[in-house]
């Protein structure tokens, strides 16, 4: 039996009723037009989710950071082949000299994921500059380009490269090069205190219950971390995704969108995609663009089982997915506020099952000319 949009909304509402989610929102566009807009549950204790709720996007933030950096490449400020050491001279030793900006953006630089003491760093309100200094010091897991290891550190250093190259804070670059030209008025990095009452609170985060709780505190938000610092409404997340869909608007050139949404690794790097489970030893070929990763034959179901091979997007551990299926001209923005740390198997099921239902419900539209 074909799924309906009401079935999808009931599916999400059931997770909320069962206590698996506090709140959630879904915004979907097909052929450039919104076809689903729903929100339910609580954004925070005592505050219902609305269309203006700002959801911490966690690692989906990397797509915004990559877009800002690619805008600098359009302007001739940086190259994908720019050596990291040429902008960040502290990044040297142990083969780091051969790492490039492209390696950082495709998770092929050999960096570890993040500080092994990240939770303690957050709880201690560690300044961003100290997090960057720590990223310089760790040994590489492999020579740049020889493998794949998903790394928040890579985007932290890529953002610092952009800041050093322009002499401007990276958050300002994201605003001026991405959010403003794309007309994303309900997207922030970092959010100002004036919109704090719109923020969703994420359950199960690192340093929960401390003044440094990830995504949930002024300290964490003001880090404006290139790997996890963006908050947005579900509709704004969908609008951002439209800029990378076949018939959507563009704040970047077609050439840049093409570069971001094709495999930049040749599919030869053994690695890991965040949506598939906890990070472990590299086990299969991973295809990565610039800010996006791909559903492919070697990694089926990375976003959902019914999407086309070649669909691309990014997930966020806060309980979010952005998926673009170019064959269906479909953009899916699904957000919630329950972290993967609360139970990754159910976390993954909630996201993938909902995406499957969206694709099934809209499949008839895919056949129309």
Token pair listed for 43: 């954004």
What pLDDT is recorded for position 1? 47
**Any residues with CB less than 8 A from the CB of 366 and at least 6 apart, and which?**
30, 327, 328, 330
Query: Is the pLDDT at 279 greater than 80, yes or no?
Result: no
Q: Is 293 helix (H, G, I), strand (E, B) or coil?
A: strand
What pLDDT is recorded for position 276? 53
For residue range 148-207, what is the model confidence (pLDDT) as tens digits? Answer: 889 999 999 999 999 999 999 999 999 999 999 999 999 999 999 999 999 999 999 999
In the chain, what are the domains? 5-366 (3.40.710.10)
Q: Which long-range contacts (CB under 8 A, 24 or more apart) does 182-186 make?
A: 182/239, 182/240, 182/243, 182/249, 182/251, 183/239, 184/232, 184/236, 184/239, 184/240, 185/236, 186/52, 186/54, 186/232, 186/233, 186/235, 186/236
For residue range 292-350, what is the model confidence (pLDDT) as tens digits? Answer: 998 876 666 788 999 998 899 999 999 999 999 999 999 999 999 999 999 989 999 99
Q: State the angle between helix axes of 5-17 and 344-366 in degrees (0 to 180), rounded to the nearest 10.
A: 170
What pLDDT is recorded for position 109? 96
| pTM of this prediction exceeds 0.85 | yes
First to last CA, the chain: 23
Rounded to whole angstroms, the Cα distance separating 294 from 286 reads: 8
For residue range 219-273, what is the model confidence (pLDDT) as tens digits? Answer: 999 999 999 999 999 999 999 999 999 989 999 999 999 999 999 987 666 666 6
């Amino acid at each position: 039996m074909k799924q309906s949009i009401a079935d999808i909304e009931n599916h999400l509402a059931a997770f909320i009723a069962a206590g698996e989610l506090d709140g959630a929102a879904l915004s979907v566009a097909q052929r450039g037009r919104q076809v689903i807009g729903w929100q339910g549950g609580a954004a925070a204790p005592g505050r219902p989710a609305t269309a203006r709720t700002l959801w911490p996007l966690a690692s989906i933030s990397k797509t915004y950071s990559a877009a800002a950096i690619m805008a600098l490449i359009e302007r001739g400020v940086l190259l994908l082949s720019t050596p990291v050491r040429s902008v960040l001279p502290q990044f040297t030793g142990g083969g780091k000299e051969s790492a490039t900006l492209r390696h950082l953006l495709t998770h092929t630089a050999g960096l570890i994921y993040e500080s092994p003491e990240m939770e303690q760093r957050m709880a201690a309100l560690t300044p961003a500059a100290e997090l960057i200094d720590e990223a310089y010091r760790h040994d590489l897991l492999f020579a740049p380009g020889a493998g794949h290891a998903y790394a928040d550190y890579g985007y932290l250093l890529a953002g610092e490269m952009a800041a050093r190259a322009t002499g401007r804070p990276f958050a300002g670059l994201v605003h001026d090069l991405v959010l403003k030209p794309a007309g994303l008025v309900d997207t922030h990095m970092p959010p100002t205190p004036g919109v704090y009452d719109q923020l969703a609170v994420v359950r199960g985060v690192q340093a929960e219950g401390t003044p440094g709780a990830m995504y949930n505190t002024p300290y964490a938000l003001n880090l404006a971390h290139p790997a996890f610092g963006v908050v947005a409404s579900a509709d704004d997340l969908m609008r951002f995704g439209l800029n990378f869909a076949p018939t959507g608007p563009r704040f970047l050139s077609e050439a840049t969108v093409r570069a971001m949404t094709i495999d930049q690794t040749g599919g030869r790097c053994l690695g890991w995609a965040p949506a598939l489970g906890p990070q472990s030893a590299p086990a299969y070929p991973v295809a990565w663009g610039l800010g996006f990763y791909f559903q492919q034959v070697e990694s089926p179901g990375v976003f959902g089982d019914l999407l086309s091979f070649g669909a691309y997007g990014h997930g966020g551990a806060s309980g979010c997915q952005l998926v673009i299926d170019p064959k269906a001209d479909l953009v899916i923005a699904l957000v919630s506020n329950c972290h993967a740390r609360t139970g990754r198997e159910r976390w993954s099921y909630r996201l993938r099952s909902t995406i499957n239902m969206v694709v099934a419900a809209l499949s008839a539209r895919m056949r129309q000319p």
